Amino acid sequence: MSDVMPTSELPSRRSFLRTGTLAAVALPAAVGAITACNPDLAARQPTVPDDHAPGHDAAPAAAGPKTARERADEMDRHHEAGIKAFPAKTEGKGNQPLAPKMVGGVKVFELTCSEVQWETKPGKRVKAWAYNGQVPGPQIRVREGDRVRVLVKNELPESTAVHFHGLEVPNDQDGVPFITQPPIKPGESYTYEFTVPNAGSHMYHSHHNAAVQVGNGLLGAFIVEPRDRSGEPKVDVDYTMILNDGVHDFTLNGKDFPATEPVVCKKGETVRVRFMNEGMMIHPMHLHGMHMTVIAKDGWPQPMPWKCDTLNIAPGERWDVLIKANNPGTWAFHCHILSHAEAPQGMFGMVTVLVVQDATTA
Amino acid sequence: MSDVMPTSELPSRRSFLRTGTLAAVALPAAVGAITACNPDLAARQPTVPDDHAPGHDAAPAAAGPKTARERADEMDRHHEAGIKAFPAKTEGKGNQPLAPKMVGGVKVFELTCSEVQWETKPGKRVKAWAYNGQVPGPQIRVREGDRVRVLVKNELPESTAVHFHGLEVPNDQDGVPFITQPPIKPGESYTYEFTVPNAGSHMYHSHHNAAVQVGNGLLGAFIVEPRDRSGEPKVDVDYTMILNDGVHDFTLNGKDFPATEPVVCKKGETVRVRFMNEGMMIHPMHLHGMHMTVIAKDGWPQPMPWKCDTLNIAPGERWDVLIKANNPGTWAFHCHILSHAEAPQGMFGMVTVLVVQDATTA
Amino acid sequence: MSDVMPTSELPSRRSFLRTGTLAAVALPAAVGAITACNPDLAARQPTVPDDHAPGHDAAPAAAGPKTARERADEMDRHHEAGIKAFPAKTEGKGNQPLAPKMVGGVKVFELTCSEVQWETKPGKRVKAWAYNGQVPGPQIRVREGDRVRVLVKNELPESTAVHFHGLEVPNDQDGVPFITQPPIKPGESYTYEFTVPNAGSHMYHSHHNAAVQVGNGLLGAFIVEPRDRSGEPKVDVDYTMILNDGVHDFTLNGKDFPATEPVVCKKGETVRVRFMNEGMMIHPMHLHGMHMTVIAKDGWPQPMPWKCDTLNIAPGERWDVLIKANNPGTWAFHCHILSHAEAPQGMFGMVTVLVVQDATTA
């Protein structure tokens, strides 16, 4: 990985915290970024021939048949409104770091499963089954070799169980009802405990009536930092992006554009994106303006990193990529199954942006 | 491939025969495995608070509205019944080795295409078009450089033709009606003959009205062992898993969970799985508890093997993986498009298990 | 890449022109190829037992119930008619090279977006939104470091914008309305200009109401030859194959089988295929008779080329492969989601052939 500097300390933890910091300031910055990064946007108007002069639609009839131009303007207003609303504020934010309690050298995480109302975009509230009220559930981040205990309380009307997808735990901690444990009945609690066996970008989710329960929101990231960090890339931003396509429509980290979250960095920085697909469809994620270097699959390093701008992510897969943010601006970043990203009314669903702030303007 | 020992003899042939042996003994062993590998399964009950005490549903009303707990228990009983039934006995087993007749140095295989009733899970019989009465058809396994003759007899009501998918045969043996041969009419026979050109995990299937005929069951594995075995991994179990999603619903080797077949090995052994997709959808296969090392694509070695726990297999693709079975227990192994694997009534379709028997308990 | 000779000059440009030449002569050659490459096709008739003698259907009743054999014959006639019609002539050909005008050292390309009638197969005319009247739009082929200007004129009833998919252009040339530019209104024109930043197989397409506009045909190939050609494979045929699955049905370069275009080469030659998916579904493309060596993803070289016969291409992806054409004959080349390629009435959609002409017969 010639374009990534060697690591000499614990950058992921540091950048992870930093990401949290960025998230707090990024939203207004990103709004500004979209309209401000091209300050001459208004100046670069398309050429207008006489028969399409702006005056043509200066006073459109309020009713009656519309001209093509009037219909185009109306469509464009919808598109513009979506972009200008981004990143739209909604209630609730998923994938937030979950701090463990330390109990006798064990990192203890508590997860409560319950039904909540989840706002996926402004004004759209849907029923969700959530861990700790978040969709995706809170992000668990530990280190290879840590002793971990996960206390699960089930406040749902159905039984459930938690599978640690990608972690090579002992069989009796695998979370599959009637194969490795009894189901966790409504109102009951259950405890998982294991020594974290393998590093990488993993997930936790329901493994009981899972097509329904994971679709409803019972899923989250379980990220394991390696004990030996000598092979880890040095990154400035470490971003986890969980894709879903269930009853909550097409979402990135539980939100539907324009309520998705921008990924924000400075020019020259390296961004690590950990893609995770918790849905039932493929999502080929396309980044504009820069390529992505694929470094890991399901938490395992790829033997030879390779480059792309569109990465096909199938259900259950995790892919880690690095982005060398050398091209300043606000860049669309979306699923390239276009019907998951744009309608005649404008962009929606699996769309966000990567904002690369120029040092001179930031 | 540092975790695989060099090969000094013909392990695949040997392990193939051994696989056959295992298949005969694996079913009861696996049933035992699921309930026995965690002997304390009943002891590890979830914590039950007072208001959800077991007595609560000790005498549910036979009729009338149900409580959430009663509905949960009912759902769980369905899930448990499915797991306990596994591996369920059904009539017919596909993908069985087909022994050739030796005729003057030529390995002669006979395939008869006919309509049969095929039991995909207990009590579910569907119309199938089969080679030699099996879905998938019998497994053909030969060696690079072998002279092979395939006699096809068509007892179906439609014409057909056999394409050797992945084999670089001479054009006139390619099996595409009106491009390389006339169709084989109902009641007629046809002979293919060629010297096996390239090693790897290949397939044979109908190439006439194929969306219908392959969907109906006209497909099978055509595995070619390399003449030079120095690059072959040493494996203890060599398992072929054919995915399908046609009129017979979601199947692994022609069977629907709980009638699918467990993959069984001992702790410390190496399992080779040859995934083959004969359906029309992708199937990202996810193994619990251990990772898979991808060694070949469409029969061609990958230049640098890579690791994953979820492998996306597209129609027509074959992927070979190695599993180092170092984590004892019974592990779910399923398509991660969850709607291909689980419904509110329990697991179904593309689900099986990998049973890793501990030396001390086996 | 041991099977590809080093490049000493500009073979891609030369072979590109040569491809154009081949295209002019290939169609009749290919027709001939299918029936002529196996001159003994008629001689290799399947064995007919007495009760299925040809005389049986010599005089089928014009009306009344049909026998299985009569129905099979009728189905086969449809299949045969499709193959014999290939490559069927249709009006219009997409993906044709677009020669730039040189203006002061800048390569200037003009693209006009308009609604046209597009013939996807004989007699099937569909509404299309096209660049310069072609679906796919004309192929733009430039060199890394070239200064390029693209003049876009919008004669559609909707606004549009052009995104250069895969090119790492400055942000204000990225073609995303309201993020990087205003939309190009009906009747207006707009100019993009940039220095070509990165080599490879890229695309251009609408990024406004794109699920509709790209589906309607607003897409094309944007191929960038590297300035340093030392890493380029030497190829004899350089073929771009754009997959689509929108309102025009399943198409290769805008055409539906039997109106698709054969890829034609001579035995011993190397063919480069640049797959590009502009649709909304995956398409695992399967080549009969020979394997493909994958050399690039989204225009970026793969660090270790790898071999396959079925390559899964997701929306927005581009994959470059090399085919060493060492197996003479006419080879089916199709999407292996069989419902995208064959119906009971015969082959359709995403099907073409690779014709490998034998030196002794060509």
Mean pLDDT of all residues belonging to chain C: 87
pLDDT tier, A326 (very low <50, low <70, confident <90, very high otherwise): very high
Place of tokens 């901690």: A173
Last residue of one domain, picked from the residues A196, A228, A260: A228
Chains that touch A (3 or more CB pairs under 8 A): B, C
Distance (Å, rounded) from C-alpha A13 to C-alpha A225? 9
Of residues C171, C177, C168, the one with CA closest to residue A358: C171
Tokens of C358: 């034998």
Distance (Å, rounded) from C-alpha C227 to C-alpha B138? 53
- In C288-307, the residues whose Cβ lies within 8 Å of chain B are 288-291, 304-307
pLDDT tier, A270 (very low <50, low <70, confident <90, very high otherwise): very high
Residue C47: inside a domain, yes or no? no
Cβ atoms of A305 and A1 closer than 8 Å: yes
- In A35-54, the residues whose Cβ lies within 8 Å of chain C are 37-38, 40-42, 44-49, 51-52
Cβ atoms of B330 and B307 closer than 8 Å: no
Q: Has residue A90 got a pLDDT over 90? A: yes
Whether residue B247 sits in one domain with residue B137: no
Whether residue A289 sits in one domain with residue A222: no
Tokens of A139: 């992000």
Whether residue C239 sits in one domain with residue C215: no
Of residues A199, A181, A180, the one with CA closest to residue A190: A181
A-B C-beta contacts closer than 8 Å: 163
Q: b/e for B180-216, b at 16 or more Cβ within 10 A?
A: bbbbbbbbbbbebebebebbbbbbbbbbbbbbbbbbb
**A253 and chain B in contact, CB less than 8 A:** no
Residue C70: inside a domain, yes or no? no
Average pLDDT score over residue span A122-135:
98
Residues A7-16: pLDDT tens digits? 332 233 333 2
The answer to whether the Cβ–Cβ distance between C342 and B300 falls below 8 Å is: no
Q: Following DSSP, what letter does each residue of A237-278 receive, concatenated?
A: EEEEEEEE-STT-SEETTB-BTSS--EEEETT-EEEEEEEE-
Q: How much is the pLDDT for C246?
A: 87
Whether residue C321 sits in one domain with residue C241: yes
Tokens of A290: 């820069």
Cβ atoms of A254 and A244 closer than 8 Å: yes
User: Which positions ≥6 away from A207 have C-beta within 8 Å?
Assistant: A161, A162, A163, A175, A176, A177, B332
**Distance (Å) from the C-alpha of residue C218 to the closest C-alpha of chain A?**
13
Cβ atoms of B234 and B7 closer than 8 Å: yes
pLDDT tier, C360 (very low <50, low <70, confident <90, very high otherwise): low
Distance (Å, rounded) from C-alpha A165 to C-alpha A201? 10
Cβ atoms of B162 and B132 closer than 8 Å: no
Cβ atoms of A273 and A143 closer than 8 Å: no
φ/ψ bin of A202: left (φ > 0), alpha (ψ from -120 to 50), beta (otherwise): beta
The ipTM value here is 0.86
Residues A31-54: pLDDT tens digits? 344 433 343 444 455 664 444 433
Cβ atoms of A359 and A325 closer than 8 Å: no
Please tell me what DSSP assigns to residue B349: B
The more confident residue out of A136 and B231 is: A136
Distance (Å, rounded) from C-alpha C153 to C-alpha B320? 50
Distance (Å, rounded) from C-alpha C152 to C-alpha C134? 15
Residue B62: inside a domain, yes or no? no
Distance (Å, rounded) from C-alpha B245 to C-alpha A319? 26
CA distances from C206 to B81, C131, C235, C292, C318 (A): 53, 10, 31, 31, 17
The answer to whether the Cβ–Cβ distance between C209 and A79 falls below 8 Å is: yes
Residue B86: inside a domain, yes or no? no
Distance (Å, rounded) from C-alpha C109 to C-alpha C162? 13
pTM of the model: 0.88
How far does CA A193 lie from the centroid of its chain?
A: 27
Whether residue A107 sits in one domain with residue A193: yes
* Edge-to-edge strand list for the sheet holding A310-313: A263-266, A351-357, A329-335, A283-287, A310-313
Distance (Å, rounded) from C-alpha A144 to C-alpha A226? 5
H-helix segments, chain B: 11-36, 68-85, 210-216
Tokens of B286: 């996810």
Tokens of B134: 């099996």
Q: Cis peptide before B87, with omega less than 30 degrees from 0?
A: yes
**A176 and chain B in contact, CB less than 8 A:** yes
Q: Following DSSP, what letter does each residue of B161-193 receive, concatenated?
A: -EEEET----GGGS--BTTTB--B-TT-EEEEE
Give the count of domains, chain A: 2
pLDDT tier, A68 (very low <50, low <70, confident <90, very high otherwise): confident
Domain that holds residue B23: 11-36+231-357
Distance (Å, rounded) from C-alpha C177 to C-alpha C160? 8
Tokens of A195: 């020594």
Q: How many CA atoms lie within 13 A of A76 on its CB side?
A: 21
Q: How much is the pLDDT for C63?
A: 58
Q: Has residue C35 got a pLDDT over 50? A: no
Query: What H or E segment, with its residue span, contains residue A213?
Result: helix A210-216
Last residue of one domain, picked from the residues A228, A258, A288: A228
Residue C112: inside a domain, yes or no? yes
Distance (Å, rounded) from C-alpha A280 to C-alpha A299? 20
Average pLDDT score over residue span C122-131:
97
A-C C-beta contacts closer than 8 Å: 164
Whether residue B277 sits in one domain with residue B263: yes
The more confident residue out of A27 and A283 is: A283
Place of tokens 């936790």: A204
The answer to whether the Cβ–Cβ distance between C308 and B298 falls below 8 Å is: yes
For the beta carbon of residue B20, count every other beta carbon within 10 angstroms: 11
Of residues C330, C338, C335, the one with CA closest to residue C311: C335
Distance (Å, rounded) from C-alpha A157 to C-alpha B102? 63
Q: Which amino acid is at C11?
A: P
- Dihedral (CA of A142, A146, A151, A152) sign: positive
CA distances from A255 to A85, A252, A284 (A): 14, 5, 18
Cβ atoms of B102 and B183 closer than 8 Å: no
Q: Has residue C15 got a pLDDT over 50? A: no
Query: E strands, C10-131, where?
Result: 101-103, 106-121, 124-131
Whether residue C260 sits in one domain with residue C208: no
Tokens of C342: 């064959």
Q: Has residue C255 got a pLDDT over 60? A: yes
Whether residue B259 sits in one domain with residue B348: yes
**Distance (Å) from the C-alpha of residue A161 to the closest C-alpha of chain B?**
10
pLDDT tier, A273 (very low <50, low <70, confident <90, very high otherwise): very high
Burial of B133 (0-12, 13-18, 19+ CB in 10 A): middle
Q: Has residue A197 got a pLDDT over 90? A: yes
B-C C-beta contacts closer than 8 Å: 163
Q: Widest CA span of chain C, in angstroms?
A: 78
- In C129-168, the residues whose Cβ lies within 8 Å of chain A are 154, 157-159, 163, 165-166, 168
The answer to whether the Cβ–Cβ distance between C71 and B190 falls below 8 Å is: no
- C315: nearest CB among A37, A289, A336: A336
The more confident residue out of C57 and C328 is: C328
Q: What is the CATH number of the domain that holds A269?
A: 2.60.40.420
Distance (Å, rounded) from C-alpha A307 to C-alpha A313? 15
Whether residue A170 sits in one domain with residue A264: no
Distance (Å, rounded) from C-alpha C159 to C-alpha C181? 12
Please tell me what DSSP assigns to residue B337: S
**Distance (Å) from the C-alpha of residue B351 to the closest C-alpha of chain C?**
22
Please tell me what DSSP assigns to residue C41: T
Distance (Å, rounded) from C-alpha A146 to C-alpha A224? 9
Q: Which residues of C touch A45 (CB under 8 A)?
A: 182
Q: b/e for A310-325, b at 16 or more Cβ within 10 A?
A: bbbbbbbbbbbbbbeb
Q: How much is the pLDDT for C66?
A: 85
Residues B302-312: pLDDT tens digits? 999 999 999 99
Distance (Å, rounded) from C-alpha B138 to C-alpha B315? 20
Tokens of C103: 């203006």
CA distances from C171 to A268, B200, C197 (A): 16, 47, 12
Q: Has residue A296 got a pLDDT over 80? A: yes
- B48: nearest CB among A180, A188, A215: A188
Whether residue B182 sits in one domain with residue B243: no
User: Which positions ≥6 away from B167 have C-beta within 8 Å?
Assistant: B194, B196, B197, B198, B202, B222, B224
**B231 and chain C in contact, CB less than 8 A:** no
Residue C44: inside a domain, yes or no? no
pLDDT tens digits in sequence order for chain B, 362 residues long:
233 323 332 223 333 223 333 333 233 334 344 433 343 444 455 664 444 433 333 344 455 668 889 999 999 999 999 999 999 999 999 999 999 999 999 999 999 999 999 999 999 999 999 999 999 999 999 999 999 999 999 999 999 999 999 999 999 999 999 999 999 999 999 999 999 999 999 999 999 999 999 999 999 999 999 999 998 999 999 999 999 998 999 999 999 999 999 999 999 999 999 999 999 999 999 999 999 999 999 999 999 999 999 999 999 999 999 999 999 999 999 999 999 999 999 999 999 999 999 976 54
Q: Has residue A156 got a pLDDT over 80? A: yes
Q: How much is the pLDDT for C277?
A: 98
Q: Has residue A214 got a pLDDT over 90? A: yes
Whether residue A268 sits in one domain with residue A348: yes
Residue A47: inside a domain, yes or no? no
Whether residue B254 sits in one domain with residue B221: no
Of residues A186, A185, A165, the one with CA closest to residue A174: A165
Last residue of one domain, picked from the residues B214, B229, B244: B229
The more confident residue out of B315 and A65 is: B315
Residue B235: inside a domain, yes or no? yes
Q: How much is the pLDDT for C13?
A: 29
From A219-228, B32-41, C250-259, the region with the lowest mean pLDDT: B32-41
Distance (Å, rounded) from C-alpha A160 to C-alpha A105? 28
Q: Which residues of C touch A52 (CB under 8 A)?
A: 185-188
